[in-house]
Structure 1
Amino acid sequence: MQHFYIDASGKCIGSYDGPPEQSPFAGTPVAVAPEDADAQRWDGATWAWPPETRRQMVLRAIAARYQQALVAGLPYGGKVLQIREQDQANLTTMGNEARWAEANGAAWPAQFAWRMADDSFFPVATPGAMIALAEAAKSEVYRLRQVKWGHVDAVRNLAQAPDIDAYDFETGW
């Protein structure tokens, strides 16, 4: 039967598939395999993730959830406005162009339209309409960032791995 050997800190130092008395490892034998021998520690009853390891795993999951929310876009005018990171610069630029046009009384193309997530076009016939579209996108991105930051801060303030594991970062998106 294979055993996993741990040192005094609970770190897996190796495994041996033979009688424990013939093991090349000087540690304590454990019959249960770790999921990740480099990261987990034996706590006397089970393999556990150290709090900082779990924290980093959850922080990566929060970052992925934020990206997922951006990819989902923003319902706008009966369609979905793309607000991914690569879309944000375009929205900001055109919102600023619309502000300049409005401030200077410059012409705005009456047939101007914004390409939406479904590849259809949303009419943006006035500078004010473009400003409103860009502001809606900016507000939603900022709202999502605040949700992300709130979850990140909450996880950073948790000290115990079980608390980190139990934290629900799916709220607020």
Structure 2
Amino acid sequence: MAFLVRKIMHRAAFDDEALMQTELGEISSDIPTSEFRTTKSTLSTWYIEDLESINNAILAILLSSSEINRTDFIIMDTDELDKKNFTYENTEPGVSLPIESLESIHYDIVNLTLNKLTDCADIYINTMNEYPDTRIFRLNKKEAKDIIKKAFQEDIIDENRANTHMKAALTKLKSEL
């Protein structure tokens, strides 16, 4: 079973107990317009073949950011996406990653419409209801740093490939080893 992993921008909006009981069409417009910001009708995700590969997606998301911070994630089952006729394609991540091999797991959910964004919100809510402790999770800043430090110790990070802001964060983090 494969999965697409995405950074959640505004988890608090989805944690609201009342939201879980709200009809999908009655959800505040703030949620889809802030959480599902699209570029060329796409949403950026990271593909993993199984849940055991989650650290690859986490590392890719952390390293594609501009800084190392607390980060929330959602793991979406591709079977659920397929049932709602989503299309996702292997694409370039838009930024160079300090671990080049992770660039190959970047996938965009493509051809999004307003109806598809509603379906995406439905998948988020169902995932939160069905898997609240395993497919929706948060890394605090220390946990995020520890994951990156481990990658440094495995000697798989090439700082020169990082974006400018992340490069500075990586240099600082490396000095803490």
Q: TM-score scaled to structure 1, two decimals?
A: 0.23
More relative contact order, 1 or 2 (CA 8 Å, 6+ apart): 2
Please identify which structure carries the higher helix content: 2
Q: TM-score scaled to structure 2, two decimals?
A: 0.23
